[in-house]
Amino acid sequence: MELILQTWIHSAKKPSANELKTFTSLVVLFPSDEQLLSETAKFCLERGLTDEAATVATVGYANATSSESRQNFSRWGGK
Amino acid sequence: MPSVPGTALAQVRDATDGEVADAVAQWCLLTSRQSPNLQTPLRDAARRAIGHAQHVGQSTEPQVFAIAGLVELADGNVEDARTLLESVATYADLNVDARFELARLRFAEANSHLGASGRTFDATQTTAILALLDPFLWQPPGSSDPWN
């Protein structure tokens, strides 16, 4: 998952909204991977997918291991 | 014999030399990750299994090249591993580890060319990486199994 996301981040060719929606539906299956969740939430926001960003950020918020991380997920729509 | 609806009876046949080498070498690699003090003998055993399939069995099966690439990678021989994995990159049933490792090698190479200039991967580089990883995301259930 991380490799797919990093490829998209580094690529001029961005994923479609549908591809990103499928991706986020899989990313939330890894609730303990804070880095993957935070990078996915940020990437979704950059692509204008606020609902998907909030879904991912909510999972990240619930599993965050620090107050700083929880604040970040909250900023990206997590609750 | 009655069969369960929606299932087919398994057809039993002898494994090919390549399939035996693939199974043995995968087991050796997996075990070597769990047993650091046995890495060298296990990788040697994997090499022997692969060598037997290639030289005695004359196997040219893609999975043998794939597992040979993974063994080279585990030994740190990145260039040899890349060559072997690239030679089977288009094989539809390439195993999951080979897919991931080749994608990782292609990503590392593309990334090394970016430098600090803020440039991005071009469409060819992106496709070359994602084509290996796509099956895990987009392949519908029931089609060719990427987790073989």
B132 pLDDT above the threshold of 70:
yes
Q: What is the pLDDT of residue B1?
A: 57
> Phi/psi at A11 (nearest 5 deg)?
-105, 150
> What integer is the mean pLDDT of B6-17?
82
Q: What is the pLDDT of residue B148?
A: 44
Chain B contacts to A (CB-CB under 8 A): 100, 103-104, 107, 110-111, 114, 120-123, 125-127, 129-130, 133, 137-138
Model ipTM value: 0.78
Q: Which residues of B89-108 are buried (b: 16+ CB within 10 A; e: fewer)?
A: beeeebbebbbebbbbbbbe
Place of tokens 């069995």: B57
Residues of A within 8 A of B100 (CB-CB) are: 3
Q: Smallest CA–CA separation between A22 and chain B, in Å?
A: 7
Chain A nearest-CA residue for B123: A13
The answer to whether residue A12 neighbours chain B at the CB level (below 8 Å) is yes
Every domain of chain B and the residues it spans: 17-138
CB A36 within 8 A of CB A68: no
Tokens of B57: 């069995």
Q: What is the pLDDT of residue B117?
A: 61
Q: How far is CA B145 from CA B66, B76, B94, B99, B141, in A?
A: 16, 29, 10, 13, 8
Tens digits of per-residue pLDDT, A19-78? Answer: 888 889 888 998 899 999 999 999 999 888 888 899 999 999 998 888 888 888 888 887
B54 pLDDT above the threshold of 50:
yes
Q: How far is CA B139 from CA B116, B132, B146, in A?
A: 35, 12, 9
Tokens of A6: 């990093």
Question: Mutation test of the interface with chain B: which of A2, A3, A6, A46, choosing the one with the most B Cβ atoms within 10 A?
Answer: A3
Tens digits of per-residue pLDDT, B61-118? Answer: 899 999 999 999 998 999 999 999 999 999 888 888 999 999 999 999 988 887 666 6
Residues of chain B above pLDDT 70, percent: 86
